Amino acid sequence: MDNKEFYFKDPFFRLGLASQFFIKNILQVFFIVLVFACFIFLMSDAPNLFYVGVLIFIFIVDFIIRYDRGRLSLDQIPQEGKINLKNYLSPKASEAIIFAYQETLILGGSFYLRLNKTLFDFQEINEAIQRMEIKPAEVFQRISEALKDDDEKNSTDDLIQKIEELLKVAVLIAIKGGSRYIMPADIFAAQKYIQDKKIIKIFNFFQINLNDLEGVIIFSRFRKHLKKEYILWQLPKFIGGFANVFFGARKRTMNRAWTARPTSFLDKFSYDLTDSAERGKLGFMVGHTKEYERMINVLSRPDKPNVIFVGEPGVGIKTIINHLAYMIIKDRISETLFDKRVVALDIGKLLSGADQTELQARINIIFKEISAAGNIILYVPEIHNLFKTSGELYLSAADLISPLLISGDFPTIGTTYPQEFRQFIKPNSSFAQAFEFIMVEEISEEDSTIFLTFSSLMLEKQYHIFISSKAVKAAVYIAKRYFHQKPLPGSAGDLLKEAVISAKRQGFKKLTADFVVETAESYVNVPIHKPTALEAEKLLNLENIIHQELINQEEAVIAVSRALREYRSGLSRKGGPIACFLFVGPTGVGKTELAKILTKINFGSEEMMIRLDMSEYQNKESLYRLIGSPKGEVIGLLTEAVLEKPYSLVLLDEFEKAHPDILNLFLQVFDDGRLTDSSGRKVDFQNTIIAATSNAHSDFIKTSLEAGKNIEEIKEEFKRKLVDCFRTELLNRFSDIIIFKTLSKEDIKKITFLQLKKICFQLKEEQSLELFFGDDVVEHLSEVGYDSVFGARPLRKAISNYLKAPLAEKILKGEIMKGDSIMIKIDAGKILFLKITL
């Protein structure tokens, strides 16, 4: 593109308005006369006139067929030199520009505003606006209102310059989108790049951004073709899956120079990807450009033209290889790979029903055919199977095939997964040295959005439902952040399809972003949508809600409430866990209780808490208990738990007692929210809250508070003391270090009251028992359950011993029945259960 110079020149615009209208009318009259003459001549008995009518008819039909086409096609645009954009305009785009130009000269005002008003005459623009979940009528009205107060004046030269600037952007959008001509949709999208304040103001008002525009262009460009059946041959057959290969009969195995040799024996144990590509069954690729180009470079070199792709299932490795086959049949390939065949070897078929002697014979014949043919690129899916020791045949296959692959007589492509790569291929140094390894990651959100846009066209046709571009974008955004079990675009595609099916089942005719969010929330059990007015009120009163279950610890409650508000408002730090807290304080002051409350508030249930006692990880070897052992004998308790519950609170009890190497492990987790387990899997912590608890220097806290100091006064000094237990880098990665105060006798009384209320509620719900108690019961239990050293912990045992145990005995003995009302009393230090007679 750097060698091209775009410009716009059309003599028609230099004519006066009267001349322009005259020419336009003359052409229209001429066409009407031509159609009338055609009809008269075809009805004539004179042979000469009839044949003239036939020629005119052919001309008219050709004109109608070519009506939507520009003079020249963008897929044949020169690579350098000056290029007049007038020749690449579609007739509709040209008409829109001419009309807006003429109207601006006559009525004045902004050219871009008038152009937008004109573009709204096209169905594709209205549909594009609707796909952004915006009402076209509202945009049109906004433009009309802006024109009423607009007194901008433009000369002919000014307007031609603006048209040229606009088309220079529109042509790039058209080329990027694969359009053959500059269409009205390309012109509409190009306006976002033109820094016209009036247009930008309107676009910003409706929150129209560049990504949305590019997405709806894809929709509008292909949607109209989708109504015609031939689009099914233009779009990839495997939309909705990353590679659905068609195994059909080959049409040709010979190259065009007739120098190749047939491979009849190889054909029994393989399938030809180039033939599938020629039949239009594969070839579509979004993203992975760097990986593809690197593969081409390796396969084209004379020495060791072998490559192995390493990546998780679903990242798109098959798509890259399928695209190679497609580019070969389209002759868009390097000279070295020109006219080659990409043949996939099926190891399962190769090994099936063969003993070692038969297997050796098969391999020798196959590789002789490949070498003799001279036009084969061998593709070995899951090449690690050659090295698996699960069966004798696998070992024989590795021994026999490996030397032939290493020889480099023909290009070879292999695929494997990260764990198998480390386990089988990397240790075999002689084999590994013959290959170039290309790591393949999931495609970007932008590429996934483009891919999913094509996919949504097929979903629309299948389910007869309108899918907005914001729904597509929401599916990609949510899948990237919440659905990590599968890479993009597969995870986003699954979510979008699920939302489509759900919307269709409920009778909706349009799928919006809100419905995609609602569908996602039903799976992850965490709030993704923007807070409603009721939820916002709840978030603003979070401190009061927490204090309904947690007594005292005002500073701690404020800190966690602030963090949750930031998260739900979308202002929390990206790339790490939702929040990382270090709860520090004496035993029994509410650290674990606050973690439980946080779990219920943010994840819906205490069951979504992952709890680890870090005192059990005091030696270096215990690291493998968290992330798994290298050979897989021991699973990682932490990594497996987070994989199973990716939306959870991770509670790390007695964090300071863990081995330093284990503490270092959490540096990465706290920083970017990721951890790699022993098998190479990346475990995502970005949807977790991490709460580490510690009793470190709790004596300092107690002494300082008893001396009359408040939390804020001792916080900085306390952080400096924590360096004795934790590295500074680790402390700096916590969202907040929260100090918990010791509990007073009055606090214990309040906790006792809360615990008794919970027991009353539980009995009423489960056994229809009504339990009543007075202040004397609270006073008694808080007295026997108070301990200045262990805080509220002894209270649980006191309530169990003095209340629950005797109550349970009476229920089992039948002394207290369902439906009874019981008053709890204290008499001479003993608890009595008295029935209330109504």
Record the tokens describing residue 156, joined without a space: 């002919």
Q: Return d(Cα 54, Cα 41) in angstroms, integer.
A: 8
> Would the pLDDT of 250 be above 70?
no
Q: Lowest-pLDDT range, 192-201, 223-232, 262-271, 359-368?
A: 223-232
CB 308 within 8 A of CB 383: yes
Q: Return d(Cα 168, Cα 178) in angstroms, integer.
A: 16
> Would the pLDDT of 431 be above 70?
yes
| SS3 labels along 384-397 | HHHHCCCCHHHHHH
Record the tokens describing residue 88, joined without a space: 């690449």
pLDDT band at 237 (very low <50, low <70, confident <90, very high): very low
Q: What is the tens place of the pLDDT at every residue in 771-807?
A: 999 999 999 999 998 887 788 889 989 999 999 999 9
Q: What is the tens place of the pLDDT at every residue in 675-690?
A: 988 877 889 999 899 9
For residue 76, give the amino acid letter.
Q
Q: Which long-range contacts (CB under 8 A, 24 or more apart) does 540-547 make?
A: 540/565, 542/601, 545/601, 546/594, 546/597, 546/601
**Fold adopted by 1-225:** Double Clp-N motif (1.10.1780)
Using DSSP's 3-state secondary structure scheme, residue 686 falls into coil
Phi then psi for 827, rounded to 5 degrees? -135, 115
pLDDT band at 223 (very low <50, low <70, confident <90, very high): low
Q: Return d(Cα 646, Cα 485) in angstroms, integer.
A: 9
**Fold adopted by 445-524:** Helicase, Ruva Protein; domain 3 (1.10.8)
**Amino acid 443: pLDDT:** 93
Q: Return d(Cα 377, Cα 273) in angstroms, integer.
A: 10
Residue 489: cis peptide before it, omega within 30 degrees of 0: yes
Phi then psi for 353, rounded to 5 degrees? 70, 20
Phi then psi for 552, rounded to 5 degrees? 65, -150
**Amino acid 235: pLDDT:** 47
First to last CA, the chain: 91
Record the tokens describing residue 434, joined without a space: 């013959």
For residue 562, give the amino acid letter.
R
Record the tokens describing residue 316, joined without a space: 């798109």
CB 481 within 8 A of CB 524: no
Average pLDDT over residues 422-444: 90
User: Domain 264-439 is in which class?
Assistant: alpha beta
> Which DSSP letter does residue 501 get?
H
pLDDT band at 247 (very low <50, low <70, confident <90, very high): very low
Find where tokens 């699960």 sit. Answer: 390
- Taking residue 235's Cβ as centre, other Cβ atoms within 10 Å add up to 18
Q: How many H-runs (helices) and E-runs (strands) does the chain carry?
A: 38, 20
Q: Return d(Cα 680, Cα 421) in angstroms, integer.
A: 10
Please calculate the CA angle 265-271-275 and round it to the nearest 5 degrees: 115
**Amino acid 528: pLDDT:** 85
In degrees to the nearest 10, what's the CA dihedral of 167, 173, 177, 178? 40
Phi then psi for 199, rounded to 5 degrees? -70, -45
Q: Return d(Cα 174, Cα 461) in angstroms, integer.
A: 24
Question: 109: Cβ–Cβ under 8 A, 6 or more apart, which residues?
Answer: 147, 150, 151, 152
Q: Return d(Cα 58, Cα 76) in angstroms, integer.
A: 26
Mind giving me the DSSP string for 284-342?
Answer: ---S-HHHHHHHHHHHHSSS--EEEEE--TTSSHHHHHHHHHHHHHTT-S-GGGTT-EE
Buried b / exposed e across 405-428, counting CB within 10 Å, b at 16+?
bbebebbbbbbbbbbbbbbbbeee
CATH number of the domain at 745-835, please?
A: 1.10.8.60
The structural domains of the chain, with segments of one domain joined by +, span 1-225, 264-439, 445-524, 533-739, 745-835
CA distances in angstroms from 488 to 329, 450, 492, 793, listed in the order given: 28, 12, 6, 47
Q: Return d(Cα 516, Cα 500) in angstroms, integer.
A: 8
Better pLDDT: 503 or 458? 503
CB 556 within 8 A of CB 594: yes
| SS3 labels along 741-760 | CCCCHHHHHHHHHHHHHHHH
Phi then psi for 767, rounded to 5 degrees? -130, 10
- Region label for 423, one of left (φ > 0), alpha (ψ between -120 and 50) or beta (otherwise): alpha
Average pLDDT over residues 165-173: 92
Record the tokens describing residue 809, joined without a space: 């005995």
CB 496 within 8 A of CB 471: yes
> Would the pLDDT of 746 be above 90?
yes
Better pLDDT: 217 or 651? 651
Using DSSP's 3-state secondary structure scheme, residue 411 falls into coil
CB 90 within 8 A of CB 74: no
Phi then psi for 75, rounded to 5 degrees? -75, -5
> Which DSSP letter does residue 740 get?
P
Question: 474: Cβ–Cβ under 8 A, 6 or more apart, which residues?
Answer: 513, 516, 517
**Fold adopted by 533-739:** Rossmann fold (3.40.50)
Find where tokens 């602030």 sit. Answer: 562
**pTM strictly above 0.85:** no
Topology match between the domains 264-439 and 445-524: no
Q: Return d(Cα 20, Cα 13) in angstroms, integer.
A: 8
Q: What is the tens place of the pLDDT at every residue in 2-37?
A: 567 999 999 988 888 888 888 888 988 988 998 999
pLDDT band at 141 (very low <50, low <70, confident <90, very high): very high
Average pLDDT, rounded, for the chain: 87
Strand ranges in 147-286 using DSSP code E only, listed in sequence order: 270-272
Q: What is the tens place of the pLDDT at every residue in 546-593?
A: 999 999 999 999 999 999 998 888 887 878 899 999 999 999 999 999
Find where tokens 């930008």 sit. Answer: 200
Q: Please name which of 226, 246, 248 lies closest in space to residue 235, comparing C-alpha atoms.
A: 226
Using DSSP's 3-state secondary structure scheme, residue 56 falls into helix
